[in-house]
Amino acid sequence: MAYCSVEQARAAGVTGTDAEVAAWISAATERITAYTQQCFEPTPLVVVVDVAPDGTCLLPRRVRTVTSVTPVVATDDAPSLPPSAWRVTSSDVLGSVDAVLLRWGGYNDLIAGAESWNGGWRGLWDQWGMEQARITGEFGYAEVPLLVGQACALLAAHIQAQTAPSDADAQQSPGLDVDDEGNNVRIENDTTETTPVSPSASTGSTQVDALLVGYLNRGHSLIGGV
């Protein structure tokens, strides 16, 4: 996952081989994710959210599709709810919000506790005392917004410039790989990171922060897998 291309990053001032530039882009992408708490590309995620008394589950990211909704209960044996038991709204539609709306009516005579004579889904949820739901789906924007791509390229250049060693540092650390401009070019590009990205108060660049201010998502808790 990257929020800008190698060409965009080079235009912003990033130097090095394509692999090295891609590594700086990866670092910038991670910082942007931590700062905005958004997904700017379609991303498979599992989120755990609170269930409001009216059955509304507000989601922490722009939702694209939901594949399963499972109540979080102490016994950890609740079945996934069928699509007929919930519906999805997305902020991708102007005026809407990202949420799963549990339909408190309806029933399923094939699921113990959710039968029509036993209160249906509402009766089963009351038995579970369900306060949270585990939701699996795809979240994020359909494509990276223009300003986010620009911010990523600028931030990649900013990070590279900040981490470039001085001439004295290079002499003291002969093991460093530096180019003719003194830039450290020994960069490891690890794209297998799966731990959550911690929220950040800034990307480290006030210019980039200003570009991203319209995409901040501070109202929700961190989700795993980002």
Q: Which residue in this structure is represented by tokens 């789906």?
A: 137
| Residue 219: per-residue pLDDT | 55
Based on the number of CB atoms within 10 Å of its own CB, is 125 exposed (0-12), middle (13-18) or buried (19 or more)?
Answer: buried
Q: In percent, how much of the chain has pLDDT > 90? A: 40
At 218, is the pLDDT very low, low, confident or very high (cuts 50, 70, 90)? Answer: low
Q: Which amino acid is at 97?
A: V
CA diameter of the chain: 80
The contacts of residue 141 (CB under 8 Å, 6+ apart) are 38, 39, 40, 41, 42, 62
Nearest to 64 by CA among 89, 47, 82: 89
Q: What pLDDT, in 10s, does the model give residues 173-213? A: 444 454 444 444 444 444 334 444 556 688 889 999 999 99
Rounded Cα distance between 64 and 81, Å, is 18
Give me the residues paired with residue 86 across strands. Answer: 102
Residue 121 has pLDDT above 80, yes or no: no
Rounded Cα distance between 100 and 113, Å, is 22
User: Distance between alpha carbon 60 and the CA centroid of its chain, in Å?
Assistant: 9
Residue 94 has pLDDT above 90, yes or no: no
Residue 86 has pLDDT above 80, yes or no: yes
Cβ atoms of 222 and 37 closer than 8 Å: yes
Q: Which residue in this structure is represented by tokens 């570009």?
A: 211
Cβ atoms of 123 and 110 closer than 8 Å: no
Nearest to 226 by CA among 26, 97, 44: 44
Nearest to 162 by CA among 183, 187, 177, 185: 183
Residue 54 has pLDDT above 90, yes or no: no
Instruction: List, as one string, the DSSP characters of 45-56.
Output: EEEEEE--TTSE
Rounded Cα distance between 133 and 99, Å, is 12
